[in-house]
Every structure is written in C-alpha cells, then in structure tokens.
Amino acid sequence: MPDRPSRPGGRSNRVLTAIYTAVGELVGQRADKISFPVIAERAGVNPTTLYRRWADVNALLEDVAVAALTRDGESVPDTGSLERDLTEWANIIARDINRPERARYLRAMVAARVDLVANCAITDARREQAAEMVRRANERGEKTPTVAQILDHIVAPLYYTVVFALPLDDDHAGRLVRDVLAMAR
C-alpha cells in the first residue's frame, strides 16, 4: 500500500509536511535538553552524584519511571486462584499508574526513547510477576493463559490507556482479566 500521491492542493501539502517535520525534529531535540547539569541544578544536588549513578540521562529517566511504578518489596498476590491473583494485581497496576504523577513519569520515559530498547525494566518486572502467578496456578493444576498473553492483554492495555491519557474506568482491569482467562488452556 503506497503512501498517498501528491494531489491538487500540493502547496498546502508541502506546508503541512514542513510543519509536521519541524515538530518531529523539535520533539527529538527536546530529550537532549534534559542534561545532568540541568537536573542537578534543579534538584539542588552535585552533578557528580548523577554521573556516578547513571550512565546517561535515559538511564536516569528509566529509573525515574521504574521508581514511580514499582515499590520495594511489592509482593505478587497469592490468593489461591489465578483469577483472583490477576484481578488484584491488575487493579494494583491500574491504580498505581493512573496517578497523575506516575502517568507523567511514564510519558517522560517513553518520550525519551528513540531507538528500540533491548530491555524495558517495567515490562521485565511485570513479566516476572506474571510468571510467578502462572507458575503457582500450574502447580495447582489450573488452566492458564501464557505469560505473553498476560503482558499483551492485561499489562499493555492498562499502560496504553494511561500513557495516551485516556480515562480508565473502575472495571477496566477486571474486564481485561476475564478476557485473558478466556484464552486459558
């Protein structure tokens, strides 16, 4: 399916293309302006604190997001049923990431990504948590969806909704869990 050809009204299209390209370039540049010295000054800390701890600004942004999204010692629900575990877990995620501050950190993190990332700390953490719940359910002899399905059909829609600043309704997490359990085999 080719890109659409230029049409009558080509000048207007050229102007639009110039504007859109400018926006894309400016957005790409913005990430560079958040530098260690700028952050250090605003935070009132010595820049060496930042250089010692993080390889670059992206690594710091990643940590900001992870810090905002996960907590030390956060335990994975263990209720004795995968449906209840997933429901509790999905609701915890939804409540957490839907707070304005956490949503802002999350958008900051993705906005700073330009190239594909080999590992996303958030996805990795959620994958481990999902694997733990699935493993326990399998030990109990329950049918389960795969870990990949839990990431695609519970984690992804929740993060998508929050990152796109769309409203999350109260039962959204519960619906996603019921949907993914329909894939269990």
List the interface residues with a copy of itself, window 72-131 (CB under 8 A).
Answer: 72-74, 92, 101, 104-105, 107-108, 110-111, 113-117, 120, 122-123
CB 174 within 8 Å of CB 90? yes
Choices 27-35, 79-87, 131-139; region in contact with a copy of itself by CB under 8 A: 27-35
Which of 6, 38, 138, 171 lies at the binding interface for a copy of itself (CB under 8 A)? 38
C-beta of 139: minimal distance to a copy of itself in Å? 24
**Shortest Å distance, C-beta 112 to a copy of itself:** 8
For residues 144 and 31, give the distance between their C-alpha atoms in angstroms, rounded to a whole number: 41
Q: Between helices 57-69 and 121-139, what is the axis angle to 10°?
A: 40
- What does the H/E/C string look like for 104-118? HHHHHHHHCCCCCCC
What does the per-residue mask of binding to a copy of itself show for 133-152, with x meaning CB under 8 A?
---------------xx--x
Tokens of 146: 């795969």
- Which range in 10-18, 78-86, 133-141 contacts a copy of itself by CB under 8 A? 10-18
Residue from 6, 10, 16, 128 touching a copy of itself (CB under 8 A): that is 16
Distances (CA, A) of 138 to 89, 126, 152: 18, 18, 20
